[in-house]
Chains A and B, each alone.
Chain A
């Protein structure tokens, strides 16, 4: 079984997975209203990190002056350091590979490069500095596949462990927000002026969020503590439009069919819940509802975590997998906060209240610009 042996979430709700899990169980949201922020003319709602706290935490790390690290690199390093500690493995070992999932990396440096070298906005450079911080000499992989980056990175884990000789793969998802990203989404009319309402009939758009999240994977026959394992993953392109999802949900449907066909005897009746992308844009949520409907999954519990963290871009697939793994292992499905009155193109069951489950599987699904869709099927992997 390819399973997680250590994870971390660094978000405004906490610096560890446990802190984040406790916060979401208490119904806390990191979303706030901002005006006159990032020198932007329009106000917005987002989940922004407290950078003084991040600096404090970063100052406690050893070797934190190897480089003048950027905001993105700092949260990535902090997140990975905690996950490696939890996993109890040496990140410098030659059988450890780093995979960074980010959509925009250090793009904020285009506004002002400060004292950084000209190569610093390049995503590969951040990934190198992050893996080298840990003394890892392998060339890291950078996946930059818009909103699905995190799940596209998870999709690489199986071949890296089973075919390419790595014993451990550390998937780090991270993005920070800036004038660049917020203004772009605003120009796209994709941002809600208010707190987001995933799958709500009156949803008005998404909120963005800053976070880093890490999962360290390895392949084991048995485990000493309860964790999650990857059963199957799939990516599919809609080949329809670069910025609008397919109305028939063709690509997402294909990913769901693919993960359910990956092994014999996989049954939807064993799925505890589907953690959707649920951005609260009209088109995304409608499309996801159509995919679930076409799977015949109208009665399955679906939730979205965007009301807690916002859409954390390259971190989303990783962060939401970590939260979902806590849901599965604790048998407790989180409600979709922000949503009151679900209403999507197809009728689905959106969790509005906490629900109990003892089923063994969950599906993480996600879609994004470029017509890309991903689904990953996870299972409980229980201690013997």
Chain B
């Protein structure tokens, strides 16, 4: 088995953004607490200086996942136009695309107000976020999306290890957006020699997920 390392990781939650264990943004307490998402995600976008017009078309799940992936790839100096054939993208969450599903449902709920929107419908699939991340970073390895009840480091690490039997690198992790709340942990996984890198294991994945900032 390969000696897999966590090459870089980021967190985006309702309250903070972190990269490789360092806090980079904290949401100001004055913002509305019950539906932090929309403003907060836009604020993150401008504060991290991301420039990606497709961002504005995305649903909130994809926005959160794409920004977290951006931070990770940026810290690896990998934001470029190069096609990366052997990078896998693996996404896990509990709600699938239910946040966007509910938005779409509102457009068809009654016969009187029936305006189904293809721009909303296209995001009603749990795996679109993995597609968005693959497109942004030109990742052409395997991509898959799994739905589980809660964050589970053993399940996520098992899937990464299986994918990395063939792929050289994996990008992804827990990308949850539900009822106005987001909870994202994205990591890049691969083989690396640098001594300071954390081993990729369920235990280490769990501790970087649990860390408070």
Contacts and interface: CB of A to CB of B under 8 A. Distances in A.
A26 B165 CA distance: 43
B129 to A, nearest CB: 8
A146 B148 CA distance: 16
A156 B135 CA distance: 24
A242 B117 CA distance: 16
Contacts of A103: 125-126
Given A121-B98, A144-B146, A180-B101, A239 B165 contact: no
Contacts of A65: none
Contacts of A125: 149
Contacts of A146: 125, 127-128
Given A144-B145, A183-B108, A110 B102 contact: yes
Interface size class on chain B is 35 or more
Given A122-B147, A145-B127, A369-B128, A239 B134 contact: yes
A291 interface: no
Interface string A367-384: 001111000000000000
B140 interface: yes
A239 B122 contact: no
B36 interface: no
A184 interface: yes
A185 B125 CA distance: 12
Contacts of B141: 236-237
Interface in B90-140: 94-96, 98, 101-102, 104-105, 108-109, 111, 114, 116-118, 121-122, 124-128, 130-132, 134-135, 137-140
Interface of A: 39, 41, 103-105, 107, 110-111, 121-125, 127-128, 139, 141-146, 152, 155-156, 159, 163-164, 179-180, 183-189, 234-243, 250-251, 254, 258, 369-372
10 contacts: A107-B101, A122-B98, A139-B148, A143-B145, A143-B146, A144-B145, A188-B118, A189-B118, A237-B89, A237-B141
Q: Which 3 A-B pairs have the closest CB atoms?
A: A370-B131, A235-B142, A184-B121
